Amino acid sequence: MSITVATVVSRRSLLLGCTTVAVAGAGIGGAVATDRLDDALRLVGVTPKPEPDAGDLRLTARARADAEALVALAAVAQAPADVLVALTAQRDALPTTLPDASGVTGDLDAACLAVADSRAADALAAVSTDLAQVLASMAAGLAQASVRVGSPS
Checking phi first, is residue 53 left (phi over 0); if not, alpha (psi -120 to 50) or beta? beta
- CA dist 144 and 109 (Å) reads 10
List the domain boundaries for the chain. Answer: 11-43, 54-150
Neighbours of 120 (CB within 10 A): 16
One-letter amino acid at 93 equals A
Per-position pLDDT tens, the chain of length 153:
677 766 777 888 888 888 999 998 888 888 777 777 788 788 888 888 878 888 999 999 999 999 999 999 999 999 999 999 999 999 999 988 888 888 888 899 999 999 999 999 999 999 999 999 999 999 999 999 999 988 655
